[in-house]
Amino acid sequence: MNFTIYLLSYFIIIISVIGYGLLFQNTLRNIIDIEFEYNLIGSLLFLIFLSFLTHFFFNHGYIHNTIILLIGLISYIFFYFKEKKIFKRYSKYLFFIFGILTIALLTSKTHDDFPYYHFPYTYYLTQENLIIGMGNLVHGFRTPSSIFYLNSLFYLPVIEYFLFNLGVILIFGFSNLILIFKLKNDYKNKRYDFIFFLTLLSFLFINIFFYRIAEHGTDRSAQILILILFIEVFSLYRKSAIIEKLFSKIFILLGLIITLKAFYVLYLLILIPVFFHFRKNNLFLSFFKNFYFFLFCSVGLLLMLINIFNSGCILYPVNITCFSNFEWSLFNEAKSSNDWYEQWAKAGAGPNHLVDNPENYIKGFNWLANWIDMYFFNKVSDFIIGLLILLLIVNFTFKSKNKNNIKIKKQNYLVYSIIIILFFEWFYNHPSLRYGGFSLIALILFIPFSIYISKFISIKYFKEKIIFLIVLSLVIFVGRNANRIHNEVKKYNYHLFSYPYYYLDKVHFRVDTFVNRILVNYQNCMDENKINCERFEGISVSKKNIYYILKKYK
């Protein structure tokens, strides 16, 4: 029974989100006519916008979330008939993709950060509206992600909080849909250029390397979208490109990427060639008339406000973005947090080790030798070997003796140079694969290989080869997840059918428990009028004043 309820809730939410996509497809057609798969992922950006906005006024409880869910379901029913031709084209792909992703949903063990702050923060959103100074409670609360706000909308009756991992599955599924239809459209139009092969490699990569949804956290979803982002930016320079459409797609992707993880704001660098391209084509004013550009700006502004109310910083832990005059500000803590993140990323800290003199360790390249020993071997090296094996398989599948004369536009080299700049920034400041390394290393290898292989292809059995590689990647995805579930059943006593939910214990609710305990102690202290309660004088009992209470309590 629990298994049936779990899957039913999963598909109801997916149908509701598809309903928002159909709503956007119908209402935005006369404003900006983009492909349905992009309106689907655009609907996720819109739901994040709603979640950000309503968080200032309401908790994301059953009533709030049920209303949002019902709007999506009603939209699905209503626009299903109006957009029947479009939905008929996409329905089999949607149900096939999310049917396969069901096996990824089933998990007992979540990643390490899930009980630490991912679940507690999302649960906080379902219990309270905005509380100023929440960054004082838990270190992880200082860096909120849009995935928490999206997941908080899936707190519903019966299923409760057991679908707080659905956000990453939606991003993963819609990203696969985008890549499949890009391949399908390029094949139909016989565009077998490097962008086609970059798209194919990206599809194979995310399904083989990112198969375990529990590891996605706030990082891998963004890195999947980064791969698609660069595909779309390269597509600007195709002869057949419809620039206004690509413009909308780029801002949907950027809006999701930079709200998933704070430091991905660096990827705004990609707007440099985009702006130049629009200026060259006299389309600059179209930026300000585009719905998705407005949505992009709106989610960015709301996240900045949330960050300020959480930690007193626009972009924690960047010290220069913090306001020192706010009572709840973590201005003094930002620098040490930034150093800690850098130390951890440079292999200077871990569960079982900590370097001496960390301030000196992170300077310059003092960390390099230890990083190579502790992290490059074998995490980065194994990852690169895996990528090279993937490239060898694709090379063996497609390469022929025929050479095609293909010219690469100089603008593409500019985009590639931005990837190189981002790579060096990553390597110097936070050289951990989860902090952007997966996508950057993949792009650095995939792009020149895609240019190379596009010059030596034969169209003989071309379609069959593509289908073979896609099916192979999906078989690997299903097989690796089936093996993972088998191991979780044995190791964690995972009851797949009677209790298919991820494991929860008191640790997941410790923040909520901690806040309530402080407030109870504070109230008892004030009621009994004890001498040692003088530090609380003048503070009213309210969760809205939790940062004051915390500072006094400490």
d(CA 38, CA 317) in angstroms, rounded, equals 32
Euclidean distance between CA atoms 442 and 148, whole angstroms? 27
Q: Which helix (H) or strand (E) holds 198?
A: helix 194-209
Q: What is the pLDDT of residue 539?
A: 45
- On the question of a cis peptide bond just before residue 317, with omega within 30 degrees of 0, the verdict is yes
Is the confidence at residue 538, as pLDDT, over 50? Answer: no
Average pLDDT over residues 495-516: 88
Phi, psi of 486 (to 5 degrees): -60, -45
CA-CA distance, 373 to 381, in Å (whole number)?
Answer: 11
Helix, coil or strand: residue 498? coil
Give 156: exposed, middle or buried? Use CB within 10 Å, 0-12, 13-18, 19+.
buried
Say if residue 550's pLDDT is above 70: no
Of 430, 400, 442, nearest to 204 (Cα)? 442
Instruction: Report the interhelical angle of 381-398 vs 462-492 (nearest 10°).
Output: 150
Cβ neighbors of 489 (< 8 A, separation 6 or more) are 496
pTM tops 0.75: yes
Residues 196 and 211: their CA atoms lie apart, in Å, by 22
pLDDT, one tens digit per residue, over 337-371 is 999 999 999 999 987 889 999 999 999 999 999 99
As a whole number of angstroms, the distance between CA 333 and CA 317 comes to 8
Q: Could you identify the residue written with the tokens 């500000």? A: 329
Assess contact for 253 and 228: CB atoms under 8 A. yes
Q: Where are the alpha helices (DSSP H) in 128-193?
A: 146-152, 166-188
Flag the least confident range among 65-79, 452-466, 509-523: 509-523
pLDDT at 553 over 80: no
Q: How far apart (Å, rounded) are the C-alpha atoms in residues 57 and 59?
A: 7
| Confidence band for 445, pLDDT divided at 50, 70 and 90 | very high
Q: Which residue has the higher pLDDT, 488 or 548?
A: 488
Question: Percent of the chain beyond pLDDT 90?
Answer: 71
**pLDDT, position 536:** 47
Q: Please name the helix (run of DSSP H) or strand (run of DSSP E) that holds residue 350, with its range, or none.
A: strand 349-350
CA–CA gap between residue 304 and residue 206 (Å, rounded): 30
CA distance 429 to 435: 10
pLDDT of residue 525: 66
Shortest CA distance to 322 belongs to which of 143, 147, 140, 543?
143
Q: What is the pLDDT of residue 327?
A: 82
Confidence of residue 50 (pLDDT cuts 50, 70, 90): very high
List alpha helices for 346-461, DSSP H: 358-361, 368-371, 381-398, 410-429, 437-454
CA distance 123 to 134: 13
At residue 482, does pLDDT exceed 60?
yes
Burial of residue 40 (number of CB atoms within 10 Å: 0-12, 13-18, 19+): buried
166, HSE (Cβ side, Cα atoms, 13 Å): 28
Which of these ranges, 61-65, 79-83, 127-131, has the smallest mean pLDDT? Answer: 79-83
CA neighbor of 485 nearest in space, from 119, 212, 120, 159: 212
Contact 352, 370 (CB under 8 A): no
Residue 32 has pLDDT above 80, yes or no: no
| Residue 28 confidence (pLDDT) | 86
Do 124 and 58 meet the contact criterion of CB atoms below 8 Å apart? no
At 281 the pLDDT is 64
User: pLDDT tens digits, residue range 507-517?
Assistant: 899 888 877 77
- What percent helix, strand, coil does the chain show, rounded to 5? 75, 0, 25
Which letter does DSSP use for residue 211 in this model?
-
Asked if residue 378 has a cis previous peptide bond (ω within 30° of 0), the answer is yes
Q: Which long-range contacts (CB under 8 A, 24 or more apart) does 268-272 make?
A: 269/418, 269/421, 269/422, 270/229, 270/230, 270/233, 270/415, 270/418, 272/418
Question: pLDDT (tens digit, 9 = 90+) per residue, 85-138?
Answer: 887 889 999 999 999 999 999 999 998 899 999 999 999 999 988 888 888 888
pLDDT of residue 288 exceeding 80, the answer is no
- The helix/strand/coil state of 431 is coil
Q: What DSSP string runs through 383-397?
A: HHHHHHHHHHHHHHH
Q: Which helix (H) or strand (E) holds 253?
A: helix 243-260
Determine the Cα–Cα distance for residues 74 and 70; give it in Å rounded to an integer: 6
> What is the reported pLDDT for 517?
74
**pLDDT-based confidence at residue 263 (cuts at 50, 70, 90):** confident
Give me the pLDDT at residue 548, please.
Answer: 61
- Which of 197, 167, 141, 149 is closest to 399 using CA atoms? 197
The confidence band for 492, taking pLDDT boundaries of 50, 70 and 90, is: very high
Residue 282 confidence class, pLDDT cut points 50, 70, 90: low
**pLDDT tens track for 183-206:** 999 999 999 999 999 999 999 999
Instruction: Tell me what pLDDT residue 552 has.
Output: 53
Sequence-distant (≥ 6) Cβ neighbours of residue 448 within 8 angstroms: none
d(CA 283, CA 288): 10
Query: Among 38, 43, 283, which residue's Cα sits nearest to residue 185?
Result: 38
pLDDT-derived band at 495, boundaries 50, 70, 90: very high
R_g over Cα of the chain: 24
